[in-house]
Structure formats: structure tokens, C-alpha cells
Amino acid sequence: MRALLPFLRLFTTITVVLLATAQLGFAADFSHVRPERAGMSSERLDCLDTVLKSYVENEQLAGQVAMVLRKGRVVFSAANGWQDKAAGIPMSEDSIFRIASQTKALMSTGIMILHERGQLDISHPLSRDIPEWEHMKVAVSEANGSYRLEDARRPITIRHLLTHTGGVSYGSGPARDQWRQAGFQGWYFADRTEPVLESIKRMAALPLDQHPGEEYIYGYNTDILGAVIEVASGKDLSTFMTEELFERLAMTDTHFFLPEDKAARLAVVYEPAPGGGIRAIDSSDGMQSQGL
């Protein structure tokens, strides 16, 4: 299992949730209640439902699931459109979606759990947990299109990774040639047989796009944090997240790998089609997950 953990590819039933309150300072039971009893308008929520249905009718979306919470109670929930349009399978409130980069919030929570327990410190260098990241180089673009390498001015810290300021992209920086040769370009690399921690160790040999702490760059930061969680906790990432978050929060349909008995609930991924409308994304297009 550890060899194939896709750090950013969680599946879950949670889709669109609108919190109609500033904070939830009470225990939520998530039972349904008539909107007016929670201080909301049924008429206005009907308008929301009409708009959401229009996205399906106008072929802007295949389907969606929405929920509105007010004071810890469900005042609105609806499933519209198709889980699988070609197969004629309608969307349902228990359809399961790929959540892609929404997984970042969960990984960050895992890091902070370990920080609170003293198993790591977010102000410490990444190299304390993964020594390969100790002496980093930075690729600096030259006017002629080439680049030179400089020693990083400071180490990458866990805090840098949490804020996407570690200088790591998805292999699109000045040294993209090296990242491509190493097999690190694009956000997806969960199809490898190599353990992810070993992949992250190899990644450390590649030049950064920027000096740590100096620029926001969206990239492999959270994948690296997943490896840090494994090292700091002594557990594989799936086990740690299941024990510390999913089970404690009753997230019973959140998985790194979807169990076979839940496969029929997985929503197909769609994208805009040329000329209008939408089309399903085939696995040959390289899309293995979706954000919401």
C-alpha cells in the first residue's frame, strides 16, 4: 500500500457545502430541519436549487451535489444531473467524487496534529525529516533562455511547504528539463510502483524554481508533506489519516483508494467539450482526479 499512496488523490462524498453561519461553536448533528426554523428562507433556497439545475440543463456541468448548513443543521441538500451521463446513472447524495487538491487541507491538518504532539515542528527544516533536502540548489533564469544554479539562501521549512513558498513547482520552472528527465512534471505521479517517500527523496536532487520563502509557487509541496507525515508518525499515510481524521470525524467514505464495493458510486469526471457542452474525460487523457 505504501508504495502506491497518491497523496493528493482522495475520494469523498463531500461535494459543495455552504456554511450559512460565521462559525460552528456547537455540536452539529447534521439532521435536516425546515429552513425557517433555522432562520433561513425556503424561497431563497429554491432559487439556489434552480440555479444549480440550470448548470446541468445548459450543459455546463454533468451534475453536482449541494448542501447548506445553518447552526449545525441541514436546511438544504440536493443532487442534480448525472453521476455518469452516458450510462444514464443519475447523481445521488451519496455519489463519491475525486477531490484532488482539496486533500491539501487534510494533509495540512495531519501536519498540525504532529506539530501539536511535538513529533515535528513546522519551523524546522524539511531536511530534519528527509535529509536529502538539506543542500538545495535554485535554478535562476538567464537572458538567453538558459539557467544557472545557485545555493539556496535558506533551507526549506515545513512552514514553507504549508504556504507553498518552498520554491517547488510541478516541474515547470527554469530547470524543467531536469524535472522532465527525472519523471516529475505534472501534478500526478501516484501510478508509480516506487514508494512515494523514495520519489520525494529523488526529487530533492532537482533544482528549485525559487529561493525558499521568497515566492508563492504552486507545486509538489503537499506531496512532500505527505512523506513528512509518514516519517514523523512512523505510519503509512493512509493509516495515519484514517486513524487521526477519517475515523474520528466519521468520514466513512473518504479513501486514498476507493474500495471495490463503493466503485459504483464514483462520479465520472467531465470537462468542457470543443464547441460547447461537456464530455467525459477518458483515462487516456491523463486525468485521474478532479477538484471541486
Pair (180, 87) in one structural domain: no
For residues 141 and 239, state if they share a domain. yes
The reply to whether 45 and 176 lie within a common domain is no
Domain shared by 56 and 109, yes or no: no
Spell out, as residue ranges, where the chain has pLDDT lower than 70: 1-29, 189-190, 282-292
* Structure confidence at residue 214 (pLDDT): 97
| Judgement on whether residues 142 and 69 belong to the same structural domain of the protein | no
The answer to whether residues 277 and 262 belong to one domain is yes
Question: Is there a domain that residue 292 lies in?
Answer: no
pLDDT given at position 155:
98
Do residues 35 and 67 both lie within one domain?
Answer: yes
Tell whether 3 is covered by a domain: no
Cα gap 116→120, rounded to integer Å: 8
Q: How many domains does the chain have?
A: 2
- Give the CA distances from residue 95 to residues 12, 66, 158, 235, 248, in Å, rounded to whole numbers and listed in that order: 9, 11, 35, 30, 22
Which distant-in-sequence residues (6+ apart) come within 8 Å of 113 by Cβ? 244
Same domain, 115 and 217: yes
* Contacts with 203 (C-beta within 8 Å, 6 or more apart), sequence order: 168, 182, 184, 220, 224
Q: Supply the Cα-derived Rg of the chain in whole angstroms.
A: 22
Q: Are residues 114 and 19 in the same domain?
A: no
**What pLDDT digit, counting tens, does each position of 148-158 carry?**
999 999 999 99
Residue 177 shares a structural domain with residue 80:
no
pLDDT digits (tens, 9 = 90+) for 52-63: 999 999 999 999
| Domain encompassing residue 189 | 103-243
